[in-house]
């Protein structure tokens, strides 16, 4: 979890439905993130450190923090556009494909092949979406 995204570090307990319950450390992380977000200008350095060292411990926190860290304006986001870009072809498609295939080994040794493959597909969509979006911005600037 400590590499900035979430997940399960073994400290949280799961309830009968398999939903992870927050630990005291998770709540401290949430409180610190809220403090950093509620400043007049969100503390990007502090949020980056928090994401890298403690992880973003739940979906709600990730939904708030990641757009700020990535400097993405969520009101301009279109899910339809994302799907188009995430599945689109671009000049670096083959590089993304090869890099994704090589990824997720050192952190996922105990995962099943199907779980790892699912995460790779997700990673590929994100990378393709980012590259296609960037190419689209470059093309519109050149026009």
- Dist. CA 2–CA 13, nearest whole Å: 18
Q: Residue 12 pLDDT > 80, yes or no?
A: no
- Dist. CA 119–CA 81, nearest whole Å: 21
Domain carrying residue 26: 13-69
How many domains, in total, are found in the chain?
2
Q: Are residues 89 and 126 in the same domain?
A: yes
What is each CA distance from 47 to 3, 25, 31, 68, 113, in whole angstroms?
A: 13, 16, 12, 9, 33
On whether residue 99 sits in a domain, the answer given is yes
> What is the per-residue pLDDT for 10?
44
- Dist. CA 54–CA 37, nearest whole Å: 16
Contact yes or no for 53/3 (Cβ under 8 A): no
> 0.75 exceeded by the pTM?
no
- pLDDT tens, position by position, 20-40: 677 999 999 999 999 999 989
């Amino acid at each position: 979890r400590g590499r900035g995204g979430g997940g399960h570090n073994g400290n949280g307990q799961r309830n009968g439905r398999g939903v992870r319950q927050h630990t005291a450390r998770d709540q401290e992380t949430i409180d610190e993130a809220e403090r950093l977000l509620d400043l007049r200008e969100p503390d990007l350095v502090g949020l980056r450190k928090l994401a890298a060292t403690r992880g973003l411990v739940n979906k709600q926190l990730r939904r708030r923090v990641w757009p700020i860290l990535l400097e993405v304006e969520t009101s301009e986001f279109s899910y339809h556009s994302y799907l188009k870009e995430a599945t689109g072809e671009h000049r670096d498609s083959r590089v993304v494909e090869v890099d994704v295939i090589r990824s997720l080994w050192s952190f996922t040794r105990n995962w099943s092949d199907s779980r790892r493959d699912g995460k790779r597909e997700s990673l590929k969509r994100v990378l393709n979406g980012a590259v296609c979006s960037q190419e689209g911005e470059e093309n519109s600037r050149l026009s």
